[in-house]
Structure 1
Amino acid sequence: MPKIHRTSRGVPVAEPSVRGLLAPEVAASSAASGNPSAIEAGVEPKGVKEILEESNKVDMYYMCRAYSEENRPGYHANEDRFYCEEHVRRRESEQVDMFIVGVLDGHDGAMAADMVADQLPSVVFNQCFLDKKKVHEAHVTAFEEIEKGLLKTGSTAGCCANSCVVWGRYLWCANLGDCRAVYIPLNSFDGSTFDTGAFCWMSRDLKATAPYEVERIRSCGWRVSDGRVEGLEPTRTIGDFDVKAKVPKGVISIVPETRMIDIIAEGRKKEKDARSVQGILVQGTDGIWDCVSGQDILNIIKTKQKSVRQLQQYLATAGKDFDPEHQVASVLERIAGDVVTLALTKGSSDDCTVILTCVSVGTPAAGG
């Protein structure tokens, strides 16, 4: 199974109805096409300075674990990859102010997925903290740089990417292709019952069977044939130069669709006076989502609610003695393993990878 990369230590089943802010360049076309059907516009910080100010006002702790299995028939080695890396606010405190976590679905070999896993986190960090770019812009630049490097290798490998960033109180998801991410707000760990808030689907499938992508491709002067573009199903990828050479520039795009939510605002829809809120971010490759629904994942989480509450409590009360390798995080790997097993049981024949991240964001005061 691929290793996690570290620097330091309703429930829709088909196209998700995403609640969150779309990146400016995709918002108009997505709203016009009617997908997603219900968009609640979040309020994104105006600039990096404002985000930095916000991140200094909150304490954020997280744990992530992953599970991956190669395709059941064994046609090829596992081409999925995943990563989780963090940015430390101040070296003397080791307080994390941003982390990036993602899943990658490689095809025609794993070279593209390997390059993204190795390079994307550091490029995004540099773009945000040194060049003062916002998260969407940072991903656009990172994907461009990585693809230029991949082109020099002569490889025809490609990959889809679902990359999520938590920075202060905000969660962004930059998506290329047909991996998916969903954020599940959790109620208080000391509540009388275990409950979750409304699912926040952070991405939707960007592939040749999606009407909004068919429309985009036609606007680029090309066509979709039998649900594919020159044999390729995902319509936004890194690499795939053999396909990109046959079509006009931009048909197979490297510009992600990016969405964000305010984690604290989402959590306080259930717990209005909560000083800290927790939630679980689930990211998976299409081998998962071809067979597993959001309701399936929620059912699995509920079977482990006692352990999930213990994890919530640990993160909510974390301080200078926080241990990112604490055994309390093992529940995330167990959930991830159950999700992959369910996908395989239901007949998935693709590589199956899921990464779960439990994040806790707290403010100094309840109204912070």
Structure 2
Amino acid sequence: MEDAHTTLLKVGEDGESAFFAVYDGHGGQTAAKFAGSMLHEFIVGTDEYKSGRFEEAIKAGYMEADAKLRQSPEMANDSSGCTAVCVLLTKDGRVFCGNAGDSRCILSSGGRAVPLSHDHKPTDNIELTRITSGGGFVEFGRVNGNLALSRAIGDYEFKNNRTLPAEKQIVTAMPDVTPYSPAPGADEFIVVACDGIWDCMTNEQVVQFVHAKITEGRKLGQICEDIMTRCLASESELGSVGCDNMTVVIVALLNGRTEDEWYEHVKAIAEESGQKSSPKIERPEVDDDDMVDSSAIIKAIISNAQQRINEVAAADDDDDDDEE
């Protein structure tokens, strides 16, 4: 299991903030485990956090976590990395979402899905510009033909350009931070999950699914399991030969209500918005022209990799000839 998550109702010296996060690991579990246990400490330990500059605190915390992990002896022969999407709820009720990678966070308000993060994909214009400016390239939608996301903690093989600062490397840990102004009468819950969930369900489908399950009398812990079960079923229906790790966290925004009052509040919103039944999740339609031959892609990646190996070997031979 390469995923990790954090659910803390009290963080910081005052203990009046809450912190929730999901880390989707790849290439090993070291990066995700480190982020899961330490990222919140780096964020609340910054001067920015202590002075109430929470957006800057999240950015500084991510970058410090990435730098500290790189110095760890565990990473000497470790190529792991992880996404990092977090939510910081401050004592005055404000919400801040930090994100690096393609995990995602949404908030349900009045039955409507409000995105709090943006997926970092290599083909996005901002990401593509940074990747190419840093000396990298995007091939088959992947950084250097390898990594399917463009921001992460770890993945240091993509962070070796010594002429550039950390935030301008091919892959960076610098998060986007989204502040959200609360609407206490309408805000219901936050969902934080890895891409295995969002590959299966849209933002709106997740909100409708949670509403439907609460109407049925299910509790949040059970609903998290229901979401993963539904997505696993979709993987099977779509003929997948394997499935991604899945992690999902649902945070109830009580806004002064008791837990029982909160469930009744969400039920009422579900009824008003017509979301009392689970959404139907169908196999997406794909035109023949849009079909991709995965075996051809794999062969091309192997061919390109072999070509680069040959180029390196040729360069080494030239160096040897020069020395002679």
Please tell me whether the aligned partners of residues 158 and 170 of structure 2 are also in contact (alpha carbons under 8 angstroms): no
Matches within 5 A, 1:1-368: 78-87=1-10, 97-127=16-46, 131-132=50-51, 134-152=53-71, 153=73, 154=76, 155-167=78-90, 168-186=92-110, 196=111, 198-230=112-144, 231-245=146-160, 249=164, 250-264=169-183, 267=184, 274=185, 278-306=187-215, 331-347=219-235, 349-362=243-256
> Is the alpha carbon distance of 1:295 and 1:200 closer, same or farther for their aligned partners in structure 2, counting shifts above 3 Å?
closer
* Superposition CA RMSD, Å: 2.7
Q: Whole-Å Cα distance in 2 between the matches of residues 279 and 360 of structure 1?
A: 7
In proportion to residue count, which structure has more helix? 2
Which residue of structure 1 aligns with residue 261 of structure 2? none
Which residue of structure 2 aligns with residue 38 of structure 1? none
Please tell me whether the aligned partners of residues 278 and 358 of structure 1 are also in contact (alpha carbons under 8 angstroms): no
Which residue of structure 2 aligns with residue 3 of structure 1? none
Deviation at 1:207, TM superposition (A): 1.6
Q: Secondary structure at the match of 1:304?
A: helix
Deviation at 1:161, TM superposition (A): 0.4
Deviation at 1:252, TM superposition (A): 0.6
Please tell me whether the aligned partners of residues 107 and 191 of structure 2 are also in contact (alpha carbons under 8 angstroms): yes
Deviation at 1:79, TM superposition (A): 0.5
Deviation at 1:221, TM superposition (A): 5.0
TM-score, normalisation: structure 1: 0.60
- Unmatched segments (≥5 aa) in structure 1: 1-77, 187-195, 268-273, 309-329, 364-368
- Unmatched segments (≥5 aa) in structure 2: 258-324
Structure 1 vs Structure 2: percent identity of aligned residues?
A: 25
Which residue of structure 1 aligns with residue 321 of structure 2? none
Deviation at 1:85, TM superposition (A): 1.6
> Is the alpha carbon distance of 1:145 and 1:162 closer, same or farther for their aligned partners in structure 2, counting shifts above 3 Å?
same
Deviation at 1:141, TM superposition (A): 2.0
Q: Secondary structure at the match of 1:361?
A: coil
Q: Whole-Å Cα distance in 1 between the matches of residues 135 and 80 of structure 2?
A: 24
Which residue of structure 2 aligns with residue 52 of structure 1? none
Please tell me whether the aligned partners of residues 232 and 243 of structure 1 are also in contact (alpha carbons under 8 angstroms): no
In proportion to residue count, which structure has more strand? 1
- Residue by residue, what CA displacement relative to the aligned partner does 1:51-106 show, whole Å, maximum 9, x if unpaired? xxxxxxxxxxxxxxxxxxxxxxxxxxx11110012337997xxxx63101000001
Deviation at 1:245, TM superposition (A): 3.0
